[in-house]
Chain A
Amino acid sequence: MVRTYLLLAWTWTRAAAAYPASFWLLVVFGCVTGALDLAVILVVFANTTTLGGFSRDEVLFLYGAANLAFTLCDLFVSNLDRISQHIKAGTMDTFLIRPVSPWIQIATDRFVPARFGRVVLAGAVLGYALGALDLDGRRLWMIPVMVGTGIVIFTALWTLAGALQFLLTDAPEVTSAFTYGSQQLTQYPLNVYGRDLVRGATYVLPLAFINWQPGLYVLGRDDPFGTPGFMRFLGPAAALVLALLAGLAWRQGIRRYRSTGS
């Protein structure tokens, strides 16, 4: 599967090399949007010393961890939310006649490595925060776990977004609420939001497990909303359940696919 993914991604990279100007514009554009998100946080902290009780470096840690997972998924699987375009253009049929999972083919379709710049930016922010914070060394093991959990959750969200587009072919933008909406939500400590929203982001869509719950553990903090301590470790389980649901939704989507005329 990984081999097929890399093969197709490399093919599209070569195809993209036919349009170098477009490639560099995308690199610049990606870095600018990524830097803007970061700038918002820095502007906030130019005017205050804490946000929801968290210091600037703690917020940058939460931001960096969530965004590293998000930008990796944005690079590798975000094309899944273009399914509605493939359905309308009739190119979806082509994916289905090849002996390779359509999930891989769509995820790699028009793969552009230009988004890699944002991964570097997110990684740099996380690295800076880890250096600036005085963390308990016995809790650092959670950091790779939380990034991995985040990758699984964001990948599942994109898969869900793609599966939903089999139903919402004419309103694909709705599904961006899952993916880009989740990214926006996880950029700040969750306690800046209302209690009900955070409940929804914990028990309905497990967004709190991307960086909030495990992040509290790494930072040695109690949850301002008072969730019990064992919740800090439920991330991988929540991610697996979501991935399973996303997989089932995807299968249903393919089986219900209607194709287009002719």
Chain B
Amino acid sequence: MIELDRAGRTFKVKRATVHAVQDLSFSIAPGEFVGYLGPNGAGKSTTIKMLCGILTPSSGTVRVAGLDPSRRRTTLARRIGVVFGQRTTLWWDLPLRDSFDLIRLLYKVDRKVFDARLAELAETLDLGAFLRTPVRQLSLGQRMRGDLTAALLHDPDVLVLDEPTIGLDVVSKASIRAFLARLNAERGTTVLLTTHDLGDIERLCRRVMLIDHGRLAFDGTLEELMASAPGHATIEEVVTHLYTSER
């Protein structure tokens, strides 16, 4: 579903060349739920932006759902859902429900399919109380549930989440985690999740990838991740160990 082959992206910053991501190769099969970890500035967001076609790779190849994202961006957009935890993709001044209607038209989703899908998402994410509220008046937790719905209305094969639980309280976090687990299990949606919240990883991801300094530093199951650093009991300790020892 997602394939990277020696993908790299460089940025020129004041005449110096920075390798945000280099020689990155991995592949994710349909239906996988993968956690993507790494310290700040390691290249997580750069990777995600290459997957959606926002950034064109400087070297190597990227394939998502069989497409080259930067060349077939608008075609891919119908098959991928993207959530940025740091910023909304909704229309600030419109009621949530109007944003969804607009998404239906932009993604050309059949009205019956859309109505059924929205009803289902509204129920599982408990949107009913604020569907008529303008997005700017929503709380962070409500907005995130709105953003998740917006990313899923066109029933994408792949869902890419960039820090979806950032800044959320424990209750909101729990409801979003439960929702994602169900989505992956019941619909078989492939999910790639970046997060700094290791609870997300423990609760959701069978497979973990760790990126550091733009390179893949670990790729394996959660158990293998724990075993990779003997003497460290919790995931926090293991990840801290990996983040600091890789440097």
Contacts and interface: CB of A to CB of B under 8 A. Distances in A.
Given A96-B52, A255-B70, A15 B93 contact: yes
Contacts of A15: 91-94
Given A11-B94, A15-B93, A98 B70 contact: no
Interface string A1-22: 0001001100100111010000
Contacts of A4: 105-106
Contacts of B54: 93, 96-97, 257, 259
24 contacts: A4-B105, A4-B106, A7-B102, A7-B106, A11-B94, A11-B98, A14-B94, A14-B98, A15-B94, A18-B93, A90-B87, A91-B87, A93-B87, A94-B87, A96-B52, A97-B77, A97-B89, A98-B74, A99-B75, A99-B106, A255-B56, A256-B56, A257-B55, A262-B86
Interface string B170-204: 00000000000000000000000000000000000
B107 interface: yes
A70 to B, nearest CB: 28
Contacts, number: 70
Interface string A84-100: 00000011011011111
B45 A261 contact: yes
A251 to B, nearest CB: 11
A221 B12 CA distance: 54
Size band of the interface chain A makes with B: 20 to 34
Given A11-B102, A259-B49, A259-B54, A100 B86 contact: no
A261 B94 CA distance: 27
Closest 4 A-B residue pairs measured CB to CB?
A: A99-B77, A15-B93, A96-B54, A94-B89
A48 to B, nearest CB: 50
A101 B53 CA distance: 13
A259 B55 contact: yes
Contacts of A91: 87
Interface string A238-258: 000000000000000001111
A140 B121 CA distance: 59
Contact of B52 (A18, A90, A97, A257): A97
A93 B54 CA distance: 6
Nearest to B53: A96
Interface string A136-172: 0000000000000000000000000000000000000
